[in-house]
Structure 1
Amino acid sequence: MNRTVFYLLITLFISCKSEKQKSISLEEDIAYLASDSLQGRETGTEYELKAAMYIKKRMEGIGLAPKGNAGTYFQTFTFKPKTDPHTEIEFVNGDSTITGTNVIGYVDNQADKTVIIGAHYDHLGLGGEGSLYAEGDAVHNGADDNASGVGILLQLAERLKDSLKGSNYLFLAFSGEEMGLLGSNYFTKNPTIDLPKASYMLNMDMVGRLRDDNTLSISGVGTSPIWNQVLNSNNSDFKLVLSESGMGPSDHTSFYLQDIPALHFFTGQHSDYHKPSDDSEKLNYDGMRMIEEYITHIISELDDDAKLAFRTTKNESEDVPRFKVALGVMPDYLFDGKGMRIDGVTEGRPAAAAGLQKGDVVIQLGDSLVTDMMSYMRALSVFEEGNTTEVTVDRNGEKISAEIKF
């Protein structure tokens, strides 16, 4: 080998090594995942597969080991879509309608327990079922839901790869969440690790819109006796809204049902939810970095602890009353005052017709006082289409009453 060729090879080696080690920012990850080029990342489409390939390459570049099927980063599952919403999804082999793809990376520290960190990366594509956009097909980029969670997951992977050694770390980007927690459901029934060794699971879903008052919702706090102490002792930045139940409309539920302590981090609903306007430029990146830092502190405190004890929680969804009418508002699920705060009003619905506004706090509906979300839903459940009643709201300290017609 002549000297020129030798130096050329050395230069290429150093260049490739430098490129592999180049850090990719949270903004860059989310900008790609929430770009129009991925057409909303609908489960089973070529665009979701493009997103899966991006996440796989990021995991590979970070240095995570593949932990999908057959030595790859991918775990695929095939299923028939539900025709009856009350039936369980049917996973099938062979010919099927849709194939989803989980993306899985692993840090093996030869520990006797594993921490699972997850976020779903699928979204609604051009809309369809689940969309709150009524003006036809449009790309639903899902920047907050849930490119934000995947972005934090990848940043956590970079942090944890060569630092904490007391646990193994499994990083899961789920497919099929929007269709019914399908990817996480499939993984827990077909795990690529020894699932009984899982210490706990952390789920980030819609963590990109931290508000000015730094309110952070964490669900699943009752799934282990230690959570309250750990979450509060490591908190210096957030106004925490803690919920006990391990059941909820996101992927942590699949792990809770396998007796694994599980938390869901969430920064709240907003008017862009499940609409084409959920775009990357609307996210609070400093807020996401704060959440990443907070989660890192939590993981660090638990790194040397034994596998967390599991505790069952009350299924709060069983207490939710059924109702035949809707007010046409988006509740503020992070509001912890008295009443039900309105975070958005839908045009053409009863609340808009009555003149209710974003920021109003519903304190009475009909004969029922409204003190929280549950009492609001109970109050709403007594009405039927065509009924008329009175609603009272607190608007900047002034009590205002209006007639509501359902």
Structure 2
Amino acid sequence: MKQYLLLLPLGLTLGVNAQKKADRKVLASLQAHVAYLADDKLEGRRTGTAGEKLAYTYISEQMKAAGLTAKGEEGYLQTFVVREGVTAAPSAFLKINDKALKIGSEALVLPFSANKNAKGEVILHVNEPSNIWLVDAADWDEYDNPHADMFPVYQKKTQEAAKQGATAVIFYNGKEKGTTVEKWMSEKTNAGSIPAIWLDAATSKTFNDDDVDGYQIDLSAGLIPSKRTGTNVAGFIDNNATETIVFGAHYDHLGYGEDHNSLSTTNNEIHNGADDNASGTAALLELAKMLKASKLKKYNYLFLAFSGEELGLYGSKYYTEHSTIDLTNANYMINMDMVGRLSDTKGLEIGGVGTSPSWGAILKSAVPSNLKVSYDSSGVGPSDHTSFYLKNIPVLFFFTGSHSDYHKPSDDADKVNYEGQYTIIRTIYNIVDKTSNEPKLAFTKTKDKQTKSTRFSVSLGIMPDYTYDKGGVKVDGVSPGKVAEKAGISVGDIVVQLGKFEIRDMDSYMEALGSFKAGDKTNVKVKRGNEVKSYDIAF
């Protein structure tokens, strides 16, 4: 673990020895929070699970111990619905040649499936009446429109198969992700007359054109009603002020990767999410203690630990629409997401600096001169500050960058830089101190990033360095077996062109990716040192 200069707490006149003792206490608390939240017993803190409950119970208990007032809808807690629809019944199964597939990951029962069983010997590309049909979705014309809604397409093709005598239908080689199919489970629809099952990309490879012997298939495709909820945690420091400063961090993570948002090449492993985002949650709790003990009383302070972030900012969006304070009196919001990997090379990224004309001067005086920082103006990004920005509230987003453990089981507590984490907390405290002498911050709209709304059917297979801002997209990680690795692209390369598109930054990179579809061939150029290398690739 690298060492970093610790900032001495402001406004205190304690001696050096006492000061070091206070620092050690904070560091010990940060380690304890992350160790608990990233422990295997929480099973990855997936939204709606027993692990999430252990996490929100711990967070609420810590808020209470710190002297924060409950500010949820039920004490410290605020429950929201993530999805209400149907899910596969516990009795659902699919066996191909006696190999049982995992329902919910490798195989998904579609929401219009009939609650029936089916069994048969099936030959690929031979769809017989009174038998199970295997339907290859790869060449469907509907995929030519990247904005097409494929849910009704699958439903229609299931109905057509049923009319022609199919006893069940199994779709393979579909181009949508499992996360998209999961969202279909919330669609209001009626059960069809035959079972319908969707297979993920890896499982679709089971069906090989070279296999002429056929497949023994046995399945049951029952569905049951389901309701998945998440829980936010809210604590409050009431200084009897008119206005409130909001601090946030999401505490949910990926569980075992059941929501298809893992980047791991292995299955069924716990994703502990120490950096993402036990680190931000720990920082939130320690910042609450510091402000509770401080003399900074001009504003009230609201501390929010969100769930559902990994599924699409569900928790923060729900809170801003069902706020337990008057958000018109919110001065600004600071979000901490992945603040556990501060390093000399990457430093700290602070986003949202364009959301108020005051941020420039405040940050110049509050951020330590020895801390390497890059800034981004946009109020929109892939984390919970976006929900507050969209309510016309100035925001800041603290982030220490992506890394090779992102969304993988290897994001563990022993890799967190606690000294760097503490430096970030002190920096945020400095910002609060500086704004204590300022009136309510004015809000300004920024040029929003479009990466959240862009649909992609392909991936280059790199992990970008989001803190890199010197032109192009710097490769921070290369996914095994993906396009980039096969081409020879390496960590540290800078992508400067993709096909006919010049790559200037993340926005231009995302726009370029959105123009390609699976099967397309093109060329990618990367800068490696002073040399530009060119690679032919196929998505």
The structure 1 residue matched to 2:262, chosen from 105, 126, 131, is 131
Query: Aligned match of 2:281 in 150, 165, 177?
Result: 150
**RMSD of aligned residue pairs (Cα, Å):** 2.5
| Most deviating of 231-240 and 73-82 | 73-82
SS of aligned partner of 1:144: helix
Aligned equivalents of 2:417 and 2:513: distance in 1? Answer: 34
Partner of 1:310: 443
What is the aligned partner in structure 1 of residue 177 from structure 2? none
Question: Is the partner of 1:99 in helix, strand or coil?
Answer: strand
Structure 1 counterpart of 2:47, one-letter code: T
TM-score with structure 1 setting the length: 0.87
Deviates more, 1:148-157 or 1:177-186: 177-186
**Residue in 1 that maps onto 2:8:** none
2:218 is matched with none
Aligned pair partner of 2:358 in 226, 231, 234: 226
**Cross-structure match for 1:197:** 329
Aligned counterparts of 1:182 and 1:384: Cα–Cα separation in 2: 29
Equivalent-residue separation in structure 2 for 1:394 and 1:322 (angstroms)? 27
Q: Distance in 1 between matches of 2:442 and 2:512?
A: 38
The one-letter amino acid paired with 1:210 is L
| Residues 450 and 507, structure 2, Cα contact 8 Å, conserved in 1 | no
Q: 1:57 to 1:379 in 2, by over 3 A?
A: closer
* The one of 187, 192, 197 aligned to 2:319: 187
Match of 1:356 in 2: 489
> Is this contact kept in 2: 1:78–1:96, CA < 8 A?
no
Q: SS in structure 1 opposite 2:450?
A: helix
Does residue 110 in structure 1 map to residue 240 in structure 2?
yes
Corresponding residue number in structure 1 for 2:39: 35
What is the aligned residue count?
380
User: What residue in structure 2 maps to residue 287 of structure 1?
Assistant: 420
1:306 counterpart letter in structure 2: P
Which one scores higher on RCO, CA 8 angstroms, separation ≥ 6?
A: 2
How many angstroms apart in 1 are the aligned matches of 2:415 and 2:231? 28
What is the one-letter code of the residue matched to 1:226?
S
Measured after TM superposition, the shift of residue 55 of structure 1 is: 0.8
Question: Rg: which structure is higher?
Answer: 2
**Separation in 1 of the partners of 2:393 and 2:505?**
29
Judged with a 3 Å threshold, the aligned counterparts in structure 2 of structure 1 residues 121 and 319 are, in CA distance, closer, same or farther, namely closer
Residue 173 of structure 1 pairs with residue 305 of structure 2: yes
For residues 4-37 of structure 1, give each alpha carbon's deviation from its aligned partner in whole angstroms, at most 9, with x where no partner exists: xxxxxxxxxxxxxxxxxx8761011101001101
Report the alpha carbon displacement of residue 399 of structure 1 after superposing the two structures with TM.
2.8
Please, what TM-score do these two structures have when normalized by structure 2? 0.66
Residues 125/379 of structure 1: CA separation in 2 closer, same or farther (3 Å cut):
closer
Change beyond 3 A, Cα 1:246–1:350: same
Aligned partners of 1:320 and 1:374 also within 8 Å = no
Q: Provide closer, same or farther for how the CA distance between residues 89 and 178 of structure 1 changes in structure 2, counting only shifts above 3 A.
A: farther
**Contact 1:68–1:104 (Cα < 8 Å) also in 2:** yes
1:56 is aligned to 2:186: no
Bigger Cα displacement from structure 2, 304-313 vs 378-387: 378-387
Equivalent residues of 1:214, 1:238 under 8 A apart: no
Contact 2:316 2:387 in 1 (8 A): yes
Distance in 2, Cα, partners of 1:134 & 1:81: 30
The one-character-per-residue Cα deviations of 1:248-293 (angstroms, maximum 9, x if unpaired) are 2211111112111111111111111111111111111111111111
1:80 CA displacement: 1.9
Tell me by how many angstroms 1:318 deviates.
Answer: 6.9
> How far did 1:205 drift?
0.7
Conserved 8 A contact 1:217-1:240 = yes
Q: Is the 8 A contact 2:82 2:308 kept in 1?
A: no
3-state DSSP class of the match of 1:57?
helix
Q: Do the aligned partners of residues 28 and 213 (structure 1) sit closer, same or farther apart at CA in structure 2, a change above 3 Å counting?
A: same
Separation (CA, whole Å) in 1 of partners of 2:333 and 2:185: 23
| 1:330 counterpart residue number | 463
Which position in structure 1 is the counterpart of 2:123? none
Of residues 231-240 and 324-333 in structure 1, the stretch that sits farther from structure 2 once superposed is 231-240
Indicate conservation of the 8 Å contact 2:498/2:522, yes or no: yes
Task: Please give the alpha-carbon distance, in whole angstroms, between the structure 2 residues aligned to 1:275 and 1:370.
Answer: 27
Is 2:102 the counterpart of 1:99? no
Structure 1 stretch 26-35 or stretch 243-252: which is displaced more? 243-252
Q: Give the equivalent residue in structure 2 for 1:246.
A: 379
3-state SS in 2 of match to 1:201:
strand
Q: Classify 1:96/1:195 alpha carbon distance in 2 versus 1 (closer, same or farther; 3 Å).
A: farther
Compute the displacement of 1:321 (Å). 6.0
Alpha-carbon distance between aligned partners in 2 of 1:232 and 1:142, rounded to the nearest angstrom: 32
What is the match of residue 76 of structure 1?
A: 79
Per the TM alignment, residue 189 of structure 1 is displaced from its structure 2 partner at its CA by 1.5
| Deviation string, structure 1 residues 157-176 (Cα, Å, up to 9, x no partner) | 11100211111111111111
Is 1:67 equivalent to 2:96 in the alignment? no
1:221 is paired with a residue of what secondary structure?
coil
SS in 2 for 1:233: helix
Please list the CA deviations of residues 197-234 of structure 1 after superposition, one character each: whole Å capped at 9, or x if unmatched. 11111000111111223521122112111112212222
Pick which of 247-256 and 31-40 moved more: 247-256
Q: Alpha-carbon deviation of 1:361?
A: 1.3
**2: distance between equivalents of 1:303 and 1:384?**
51
Alignment of 1:360-375 (within 5 A): 360-375=493-508
Q: Distance in 2 between matches of 1:80 and 1:96?
A: 8
Q: State whether residues 64 and 105 of structure 1, in contact with CA within 8 Å, keep that contact through their aligned partners in structure 2.
A: yes
Give the letter aligned to residue 38 of structure 1: L
Pair 1:275–1:319, CA change in 2 (3 A): closer
Alpha-carbon distance change, 384 to 39 in structure 1, aligned in 2, over 3 angstroms: closer
Residues 342 and 107 (structure 1 numbering): CA distance in 2 closer, same or farther, change over 3 Å? same
